[in-house]
Amino acid sequence: MNLSDPLEGSFRLTPTHVHALKKLGLATVGDLLYHFPVRYGDVASIKTVAEASRGDSIALVGQISHLQSKKAFRKKIPMAEGRLLDETGSIQIVWFHQPYLAKMIPDSSYVRVEGKVQERKGKLYLSNPKIERLSSLPAAASPLFGGNIGAGTLYPIYPETRGVTSNWFYHAVGKIFKSGLLETLDDPIPPAILEKYHLPSLATALIWIHSPKKETDARAARKRFAFEEVFFIQLEKQRARREWQNHSSFVVDPSLENVLQFATRFPFPLTRAQRRAVENIFLDFKKGRPMSRLLEGDVGSGKTAVAAMAAHAIITTHPEGKDFGNLQVAYMAPTEILAQQHFESFIDFFAESDIQIGLITGSGCKKFPSKVNPKGATSISRVQFLKWVANGEIPILIGTHALIQKSVKFKHLGFVIIDEQHRFGTAQRQKFREKEGRIPHLLSMTATPIPRTLALTIYGDLDLTLLDELPPGRKVPITKIVLPQERVMTYEKIRAELHLGRQVYIICPRIDEPDPAKELALQAKSVKEEAKRLREGIFPEFEVGVLHSKVRPAEKESVMNNFKDGKTKILVSTSVVEVGVNVPNATMIIIEGAERFGLAQLHQLRGRVMRSTHQPYCFIFSESRSGKSLDRLKALKQAKNGFELAEFDLAQRGAGELYGRKQWGLSDLGMEAIRNIKMVEAARHEAAALIAKDPDLKEYPLLSKRVEYSRQKIHFE
């Protein structure tokens, strides 16, 4: 067997297997080896039905029978029930709210269930246990059925999937081990590094992770693979960084004086942090090598103004060797609302500069100033617009993803700003780099407070500038977790503020479609129904605006404008307003169904109301009464800033729950790794040292291949 052998052909697969493996993205023997168990069951922890007693948390293995779905509690709650049978007896099992379970598992299947033993009317039963189908009894569990493997044997439990059981993986991996493949594997991690950090070799780690003899072996193996993942990412970032740094970029040597003069157009003095950030950026601009900088600042710290100052420096610079014309700026935002907002801010900032500003989104193109109305913007055809961008007549181009389409060509693109970087993948960043011969300077901006370990990993190729100061006079929002009986009182408080001229956002978790996994009574509030309810029953004296991703772009714009102009006092919205939207007069936000949002996301939402000198309020309505989810919400009140919150989320909920994780391309194990700052720093350090010594990894062909592979993945994503 070889790592690249396809699974079909190497194993006898049923059509169900083929389908399920494909869904998991597993195509080759190598993929299978890198499909790791999520945890391990211990045979010693498997009990028999006879041993079960009330209050125990136990695992049982046996055959399931009498599965059926029905309704309980005055026919209100759908449920599934059945019996589990082992050689010592049988026990009842019930699953509330999961009637479909009865249809998913055929009668008499072998299963493993894990849950808490309860008692009702003198009879023991398991309520909502985890259940996993086994294709037969796991080899390791056979002592219960007369086998004789010693206690303490661990057996792997793989991520739950329909169609392939843990047991299938267990046997398939066993077959690979027996084939002798492991003995032929070369370890891509240099031996010196393995030794230094006490990591097992590749072959050993594969055995330990799939069939550990003891818990410590499994842990050592996981540590190795976690290190491996972060190490490869770091290598790739360090190498990419080195590569762009070898390219030339436009030399921009702006006078700080000019830009400070420009900054007097802002209706506020700069904060020290904003000024420092601009100085940082200008130092990079001068170097002739492309800047790659991340500007990280909490919501409301004033990143837009920094972007505008940097843009000003670019558009007042002539292309090299010319004494006319200017370099161009591309400013990309994740949503149309935000792009439109930046367009308007830039029109304010640059109105006196006698330059053109363009806006390109999925719904069309606009240009400022308009020929007929020199104070306003006008819609123009895409073809004409792109011509003006290509010949350099439009020096500032703001937009959504539409900016990076192939058809958008610049004359002298000198600078790219990516707002809300966490909303984009690395791939978008790369696209700009490929666009032109010379590589533009890059400024990524983000407020998403992510733990430092994660920033070091996913932004490993960027230099970091922190905007660690909020504009003066900002009031800390009063954050309140509102209990159901306090709802009416809260609405009255809001009414009083509305009459004083303030405005309120009301955030609901969904638009209007019911969530099929939930009971009607458990449905989260929807934007559409909530808007109707508020308009008719609660705030009839005020205009209510509605915003969500399905509103047509033209209407979106007018909804936002009405809110900005104060025509509507109440904006009911999904979390689309979460990123960047800036309406200083909106000082209150209600978040319905708050337990459905991540902490970082809640923090971003709350950031919407920290934009003026009026006292802001954040009212958190939670449907959950679970202690854990209330604790989590309480953290919102305590944490001083977004970074503290992110660390809290990481510590309490685990890496999997971190906001936006899908885009980072980290596996579960990689996310686990970022809980360990020492490991992340070590991986970064080793990767940087290796690249400094051997930039093309000539001495490390295996590593080079791996880095190449992950780079391709990024390009084609």
| Nearer to Mg ion among residue 173 and residue 583 (C-beta) | 583
- Pick from ligand ADP, Mg ion, none: which does 462 bind, CB < 5 to 8 A by kind? none
Q: Is 580 among the residues that bind Mg ion (CB under 5 A)?
A: yes
- Pick from ligand ADP, Mg ion, none: which does 395 bind, CB < 5 to 8 A by kind? none
Site for Mg ion in 83-142 (CB under 5 A): none
* Shortest Cβ 607–Mg ion spacing (Å): 9
d(CA 191, CA 442): 37
Kindly tell me which residue out of 41, 62, 290, 302 binds ligand ADP, with binding defined by CB under 6 A: 302
Q: Is 340 among the residues that bind ligand ADP (CB under 6 A)?
A: no
As given in the structure block, the two tokens for residue 481 are 């977790």
- Pick from ligand ADP, Mg ion, none: which does 154 bind, CB < 5 to 8 A by kind? none
- Pick from Mg ion, ligand ADP, none: which does 268 bind, CB < 5 to 8 A by kind? ligand ADP
Q: Phi and psi (nearest 5°) for 275?
A: -65, -40
| Of 389, 416, 444, nearest in space to 314 by CA | 416
Max CA pair span of the chain: 92
Site for ligand ADP in 411-470 (CB under 6 A): 447
Kindly tell me which residue out of 35, 237, 303, 556 binds ligand ADP, with binding defined by CB under 6 A: 303
Distance of CA 563 to the CA centre of its chain: 29
| Nearer to Mg ion among residue 48 and residue 582 (C-beta) | 582
C-beta separation of 59 from 114 below 8 A:
yes
d(CA 686, CA 557): 49
| Nearer to ligand ADP among residue 270 and residue 577 (C-beta) | 270
| Nearer to Mg ion among residue 129 and residue 334 (C-beta) | 334
| Nearer to ligand ADP among residue 234 and residue 575 (C-beta) | 575
Q: What 3-state DSSP class applies to 694?
A: coil
Q: What is the crossing angle of helices 215-246 and 677-693, to 10°?
A: 40
| Nearer to ligand ADP among residue 472 and residue 540 (C-beta) | 472
Site for ligand ADP in 464-493 (CB under 6 A): 471
Q: Is 616 among the residues that bind ligand ADP (CB under 6 A)?
A: no
* Shortest Cβ 159–Mg ion spacing (Å): 37
| Nearer to ligand ADP among residue 305 and residue 443 (C-beta) | 305
Q: What 3-state DSSP class applies to 479?
A: strand
As given in the structure block, the two tokens for residue 499 are 């009459």
Which of these ranges, 100-108, 360-368, 459-467, 580-588, lies near Mg ion under the rule CB under 5 A? 580-588
d(CA 90, CA 83): 6
- Pick from ligand ADP, Mg ion, none: which does 471 bind, CB < 5 to 8 A by kind? ligand ADP
Kindly tell me which residue out of 60, 102, 173, 305 binds ligand ADP, with binding defined by CB under 6 A: 305
| Nearer to Mg ion among residue 204 and residue 582 (C-beta) | 582
As given in the structure block, the two tokens for residue 267 are 């209706």
| Nearer to ligand ADP among residue 449 and residue 471 (C-beta) | 471
| Of 39, 102, 92, nearest in space to 62 by CA | 92
- Pick from ligand ADP, Mg ion, none: which does 593 bind, CB < 5 to 8 A by kind? none
The count of other CB atoms within 10 Å of the CB of residue 106 is 9
Q: Is 611 among the residues that bind ligand ADP (CB under 6 A)?
A: yes
* Shortest Cβ 416–ligand ADP spacing (Å): 17
* Shortest Cβ 317–ligand ADP spacing (Å): 23
Using a 10 angstrom Cβ sphere, with 0-12 exposed, 13-18 middle and 19 or more buried, the burial of residue 543 is middle
Site for ligand ADP in 241-300 (CB under 6 A): 268, 270-271, 274, 297, 299-300
| Of 445, 422, 134, nearest in space to 303 by CA | 445
C-beta separation of 130 from 67 below 8 A:
no
* Shortest Cβ 609–ligand ADP spacing (Å): 11
Residue carrying the six token digits 């978790």: 509
C-beta separation of 200 from 191 below 8 A:
no
Q: Is 297 among the residues that bind Mg ion (CB under 5 A)?
A: no
Which of these ranges, 112-120, 233-241, 285-293, 303-311, lies near ligand ADP under the rule CB under 6 A? 303-311
| Nearer to Mg ion among residue 20 and residue 442 (C-beta) | 442
d(CA 654, CA 472): 35
Binding-residue total with Mg ion (CB under 5 A): 1
* Shortest Cβ 565–Mg ion spacing (Å): 20
As given in the structure block, the two tokens for residue 98 are 């999961």
**What is the amino acid identity at position 59?**
A
| Nearer to Mg ion among residue 580 and residue 593 (C-beta) | 580
| Of 658, 527, 577, nearest in space to 337 by CA | 577
Q: Is 262 left (phi over 0), alpha (psi -120 to 50) or beta?
A: alpha
- Pick from ligand ADP, Mg ion, none: which does 561 bind, CB < 5 to 8 A by kind? none
Q: Are strands 378-380 and 364-368 parallel, antiparallel or unpaired?
A: antiparallel
Which of these ranges, 202-210, 516-524, 525-533, 578-586, lies near Mg ion under the rule CB under 5 A? 578-586
**What's the full length of the chain, in residues?**
717
As given in the structure block, the two tokens for residue 634 are 């309480």
As given in the structure block, the two tokens for residue 220 are 């050592």
* Shortest Cβ 688–Mg ion spacing (Å): 31
Kindly tell me which residue out of 580, 598, 616, 670 binds ligand ADP, with binding defined by CB under 6 A: 580
- Pick from ligand ADP, Mg ion, none: which does 20 bind, CB < 5 to 8 A by kind? none
**What is the amino acid identity at position 80?**
A
| Nearer to ligand ADP among residue 94 and residue 278 (C-beta) | 278
d(CA 279, CA 442): 15
CA-angle at 399, arms to 601 and 715, nearest 5°: 75
Eight-state DSSP code of residue 506:
E
- Pick from ligand ADP, Mg ion, none: which does 709 bind, CB < 5 to 8 A by kind? none
C-beta separation of 687 from 238 below 8 A:
yes
C-beta separation of 472 from 300 below 8 A:
no
Q: Is 503 among the residues that bind ligand ADP (CB under 6 A)?
A: no
- Pick from ligand ADP, Mg ion, none: which does 270 bind, CB < 5 to 8 A by kind? ligand ADP
| Nearer to ligand ADP among residue 300 and residue 399 (C-beta) | 300
Which of these ranges, 249-257, 350-358, 574-582, 626-634, lies near Mg ion under the rule CB under 5 A? 574-582
* Shortest Cβ 278–ligand ADP spacing (Å): 12
d(CA 385, CA 554): 19
| Nearer to ligand ADP among residue 530 and residue 578 (C-beta) | 578
| Nearer to ligand ADP among residue 205 and residue 442 (C-beta) | 442
Integer angstrom CA distances of residue 399 from 403, 416, 582: 6, 11, 17
Q: Is 301 among the residues that bind ligand ADP (CB under 6 A)?
A: yes
As given in the structure block, the two tokens for residue 433 are 């780099």
Which residue's beta carbon is nearest to the bound Mg ion?
A: 580
List all residues 6 or more positions away from 451 whose beta carbon is below 8 Å from its beta carbon: 643, 646, 647, 650, 658, 674
Q: Phi and psi (nearest 5°) for 325?
A: 75, 170
Residues in the site for ligand ADP, rule: CB under 6 A? 268, 270-271, 274, 297, 299-305, 447, 471, 580, 582, 584, 611
Residues in touch with Mg ion (CB under 5 A):
580
